[in-house]
Amino acid sequence: MNETQSRKFREQIKARLAALESADDRGAEGQSTVTLDQQSVGRLSRMDALQNQAMAKASHARRGAERKRLLAALERVEEGEFGYCEDCGDDIAPARLDLDPAATRCISCARG
């Protein structure tokens, strides 16, 4: 992978990390402790709030996993190991990396 491609993927990964950070900021309120609102309908409103809180926490966990994958990919870019399959060592197709810059396996190994 040449320097131009490495720079492109580095910027793409950093942009995705920034988007995850922004999403975490927006989702922080949804993860807060559910309080009983006396003005609401009651039990069903609380159940709905608890469900929303669980979904917010699950989204946060998914973003955390994606952040780890992207940080590992950024580290591979910096070390010059980015774009190679961790199983067979072949190049990962640039189109695959465009879709998922954190991909660690070529399409053949991922299928198999």
Q: How far apart are CA 101 and CA 99, in angstroms?
A: 6
| 91 DSSP β-pair partners | 84
pLDDT at 109 over 90: yes
How many Å is the maximal CA-CA distance in the chain? 62
Q: What local confidence, expressed as pLDDT, does residue 98 receive?
A: 95
Per the CB < 8 A criterion, the answer to whether 11 and 70 are in contact is: no
Per-residue pLDDT reduced to its tens digit, 12-50: 999 999 999 998 888 666 666 656 555 555 667 778 878
Per-residue pLDDT reduced to its tens digit, 57-93: 899 999 999 999 999 999 999 999 999 999 999 999 9
pLDDT at 106 over 90: yes
Q: How far apart are CA 93 and CA 50, in angstroms?
A: 43
Q: How far apart are CA 105 and CA 91, in angstroms?
A: 9
pLDDT at 52 over 90: no
| 84 DSSP β-pair partners | 91
Q: What local confidence, expressed as pLDDT, does residue 32 receive?
A: 62
Q: What local confidence, expressed as pLDDT, does residue 82 receive?
A: 96
